[in-house]
Amino acid sequence: MTHAAAAVSYVYLLLTGLAFWSPALFWLAVVLGGGYLSRMLHPWAGLVFAASVLLMYRRWRGDMRATPEDRAWRAAMGHYVRNDDARVPPAGRFNYGQKVLFWVMFLGGMALLASGLVMWFVADLSEWRTLLYAATLMHVVAALLTIGGFIVHVYMGVAVVPGGVSAILHGEVTEDWARTHHPLWRRERP
């Protein structure tokens, strides 16, 4: 549920945000009900996304701490990328790449929330020039970082890792799958 809320709100934020980012993509806002509506709903969708990211943070922050195994995994990341998985050290519930993604999305999401709130209330903050400039640039940079994470995340989940889509939809994986991809997980939670 949390992941679904984050996914739906993020995709809406991405599409409307891209419409505001570039005139060449403004048609996205037109398709989604017009620029005015997109502008009106974007901040609310942002609150939904921020809330779901905070829920994930509460649930997973323990699992997302870096562990000694992560160092070995990071060193072998080239093998993982080349699908040479036999040479990748075993991972726990979340491998190092997933942990990095989580922190990119969490920190990026919080930066987007903070800067987005300033941009939402720009009319009341018009005398705080430096704050407006900083928020605008921060929103752009944080959005681009999360878009990078989003591309990798969706590509991995849908196209690279077998069973990824099923895990997203059902919220569970088979034991066999877990043993292959996250062998240390079983050991963590006997």
Q: Which residues bind another protein (CB under 8 A)?
A: 19-24, 26, 29, 34-36, 38-40, 81-83, 85, 119, 122-123, 126-127, 129, 132-134, 136-137, 140-141, 144, 147-148, 151-152, 155, 159-163, 166, 170, 172-174, 176-177, 180
d(CA 80, CA 83): 5
Q: Given the complex with another protein, which of 107 and 145 has the nearer CB atom? A: 145
Q: Minimum CB separation from another protein for residue 150, in Å? A: 9
Supply the minimum distance, in Å, between the C-beta of residue 136 and another protein.
6
3-state secondary structure of 154: helix
Q: How many CB atoms lie within 10 A of CB 122?
A: 13
The CA-to-CA distance between both ends of the chain, in Å, stands at 25
Q: How far is the CB of 5 from another protein (least distance, A)?
A: 24
CB of 2 or CB of 43, closer to another protein: 43
Question: Quick one: 93 exposed, middle or buried, by C-beta within 10 A (0-12, 13-18, 19+)?
Answer: middle
Q: Which is nearer to another protein, 92 or 116 (CB)?
A: 116
Nearer of residues 110 and 173 to another protein, judged by Cβ:
173
CA gyration radius, the chain:
19
CA 120, 123, 129, 133 torsion: positive or negative?
positive
Q: Closest approach of Cβ 56 to another protein, in Å? A: 22
Minimum distance from CB of 153 to another protein (Å)?
11
| 44 vs 133 by CB, closer to another protein | 133
Short-list 55, 140, 46, 157, CA closest to 101: 157
